[in-house]
Amino acid sequence: MLRGAARLLRVSAAGDAGAARSALESRGCAVVSVEQHREQGRFFERVVFDAGNGLDAGALEAALAPDAVTIRAADERPRLAVFAGKEPGCLEELLERSRTGELRADVAGVLSNHATLAPLAADYGVPFHCFGGEDMEAAQLARLAELRVDVVALARYMQILGPAFCEAYAGRALNVHHSLLPAFPGARPYDAAWARGVKLIGATAHYVTEELDGGPIVAQAALPAPHALSVRDLRRAGAAAERSVLADAVAAHVDRRVLIAGSRCVVFAGP
C-alpha cells in the first residue's frame, strides 16, 4: 500500500489527458502537479500526488491499462551502481550528491577495470569492485544482480558494453559522452572538435544502447570554444560539464522525470 507523496508516469496512445487525475482523485489522492506532452501520436504524462492514508498502486496501474503506467513513492531511493574508469570527476559528483541527498539514490557499488578510484569510493564508504579478463562483463552482470542494482551510471567508463548488458539494463543505464552528440561520437571527441574548429563543446548524458553513443539523450550542456583554446584546454573546460550533466541525468531518471520516446526522451521539469 502506497502512502504519502508519490509520482505517476504514463504513456498513452489514446491520450485521455484527464484519465490519471480522475483515477487518482476518485481514490482519495490529492494531485499536486501535472506535466503533459504529446508527440508522434502518443501522450506522455507525469503526475505528482499525495496518496494520503493508502493507495493500491498495482490496482491503479491495472485500471489505467492499456496505458503504460508506473507509480512510485517520492521518497524511494533506487540502488545505483557506478561504472568508472580512471578519471574521478563524474564518480565524485555522483557520490557527493548521493551523500548530501541531492541525488535520491543510494550508491550500492563502484565497478571498474582499474583500481585507480578505489580510494575515492572508500572515502564515501562505498564498496569497490575491480574486474578484468575475458569474462569481465559476465562477472559484472553477476555482481550487479548480487547488489540488487536498479540503475547504472557510466562515469567516464571507457569500455564498450555488449548486447547482454544493454538488454539487461535497457532504459536503466546512463552514460556521459564528452561531446554534444550526435557530433563526435566515439573516442577522442575533444581532438575532433579542435580539428573541426567548432565554437561550442559540451557533454551529453544518454541511455545506453548497442549503438555506440547513440542512445536517447537525457541532458546536455554546452560551453564556448574560442579558437585560442588547445585540446588540453577543451578537455579541462569540458570536465565540469561532464560531471554535472551525468549527475543531472541520473537525478532526472531516479526522480521519475524521464520517459523514453523512441530515439528521444521526454524530460519533465519536476519536482
**What integer pLDDT is reported at residue 268 of this predicted model?**
98
Q: Side-chain half-sphere of 65: how many Cα atoms within 13 Å?
A: 6
Task: Please identify which of the residues 67, 150, 213, 248 carries the catalytic annotation.
Answer: 213
d(C-alpha 172, C-alpha 207), whole Å: 7
159-162: list long-range contacts, CB under 8 Å, 24+ apart: 159/83, 159/85, 159/113, 160/212, 161/137, 161/208, 162/137
d(C-alpha 19, C-alpha 115), whole Å: 51
Question: Which pLDDT tens digit goes with each residue over 40-69?
Answer: 899 999 999 999 989 999 999 999 999 999
**Chain Cα centroid distance, residue 140:** 19
Q: Which residues of the chain have pLDDT under 50?
A: none
Q: Is 213 a catalytic residue?
A: yes
| CA proximity to 201, closest of 158, 174, 241, 228 | 241
**What integer pLDDT is reported at residue 83 of this predicted model?**
99
Residues forming CATH 3.40.50.170 domain(s) in the chain:
79-267
Question: Which pLDDT tens digit goes with each residue over 22-37?
Answer: 999 999 999 999 999 9
* Grid cell in block for residue 255: 526522480
Phi then psi dihedrals of residue 257, to 5 deg: -110, 0
| CA proximity to 140, closest of 120, 123, 118, 159 | 159
**What integer pLDDT is reported at residue 271 of this predicted model?**
83
**What integer pLDDT is reported at residue 53 of this predicted model?**
87
**What integer pLDDT is reported at residue 137 of this predicted model?**
96
| CA–CA distances in Å: residue 56 to residues 1, 2, 26, 52 | 5, 6, 13, 11
User: pTM of the prediction?
Assistant: 0.96
CATH T-level fold of 79-267: Rossmann fold (3.40.50)
Beta partners for 36?
Answer: 45
Cis preceding linkage at 185, omega within 30: no
**What integer pLDDT is reported at residue 29 of this predicted model?**
98
Q: 79-84 and 217-224: which strand pairing?
A: unpaired
Superfamily of domain 6-73: ACT domain (3.30.70.260)
| CA proximity to 149, closest of 63, 234, 83 | 83
Residues forming CATH 3.30.70.260 domain(s) in the chain:
6-73
